[in-house]
Homo-oligomer: A and B are copies of this chain.
Amino acid sequence: MSKRIAGPEIERLIQLLAKVPGLGPRSARRAALHLIKKKEQLLGPLAAAMAEALDTVRICSTCGNVDTCDPCTVCTDARRDPATLIVVEDVADLWALERAGAINARYHVLGGTLSPLDGVGPEELNIKALVDRVAAGGFGELILAVNATVEGQTTAHYITDQLDGLGVKVTRLAHGVPVGGELDYLDEGTLAAALKSRTTF
């Protein structure tokens, strides 16, 4: 804006909102105005919820998940299968798998993937804790639910090597046609994988 049309507190709120994923400079202005208009119903509670999250959120020392308790809600949930461990790159992946609701397992969050070009080596990831966790025994299967990218697959291979000799069965997610997907829009790699892993109808 060419001229100052609002106090610095409002400008700052807009600038910070613009850094939230999903909001840009334009929608941040709209969001700020909406928040200001709904001071009591939204701005106040949201400010309080953020302050509370700031105080209470921590990283689970067992699995790397974020939660307000340590060990986290997932690690302390006694109804989960204690013998199955799903390895994910990010907390967002853990949440996505939980939304699918297809499995009742425990998780281990790596915090990223191996990426030598970006300076991410095994030490930067939550891999040593994973190996220690598996070595402590009790897990029958470890599911590598990493992204189907080059970095994800490299990380999966590295982890498999590290777990060698610990007697745990290592599996990975199936490759194939996404449910609801149209063949015409799929890449060759996915189609080849789907053909290769075809099942009896």
Chain A residues with CB under 8 Å of chain B are 1-10, 12-13, 16-17, 19-23, 27-37, 39, 42-47, 49-54, 56-57, 65-69, 72-74, 77, 91-92, 94-95, 98-99, 101
Given A21-B27, A95-B29, residue A53 in contact with residue B67 (CB < 8 A): no
**Majority SS at the chain A contact face:** helix
- B33 pairs with A101, CB closer than 8 A: no
- B19 pairs with A42, CB closer than 8 A: yes
Q: Which residue of B lies closest to A100 (CB)?
A: B2
Q: Which residue of B lies closest to A47 (CB)?
A: B50
Task: List B contacts of A36 (CB < 8 A).
Answer: 53, 57, 66
- A47 pairs with B56, CB closer than 8 A: no
Q: Which residue of B lies closest to A79 (CB)?
A: B3
A43 to B67, CA, bound (A): 15
Task: List B contacts of A7 (CB < 8 A).
Answer: 56, 67-69, 73
Given A22-B22, A42-B19, residue A2 in contact with residue B101 (CB < 8 A): yes
User: Which of B1, B34, B91 is within 8 Å of A99, CB to CB?
Assistant: B1
Task: List B contacts of A67 (CB < 8 A).
Answer: 6-7, 10
- A98 pairs with B33, CB closer than 8 A: no
Given A36-B53, A53-B13, residue A73 in contact with residue B5 (CB < 8 A): yes
Task: List B contacts of A52 (CB < 8 A).
Answer: 9, 12-13
Q: With both chains docked as a complex, state the minimum distance between the C-beta of A145 and any C-beta of chain B, in angstroms.
A: 15
- B6 pairs with A66, CB closer than 8 A: yes
A39 to B1, CA, bound (A): 29
Q: With both chains docked as a complex, state the minimum distance between the C-beta of A94 and any C-beta of chain B, in angstroms.
A: 7
Given A13-B49, A39-B54, residue A74 in contact with residue B20 (CB < 8 A): no
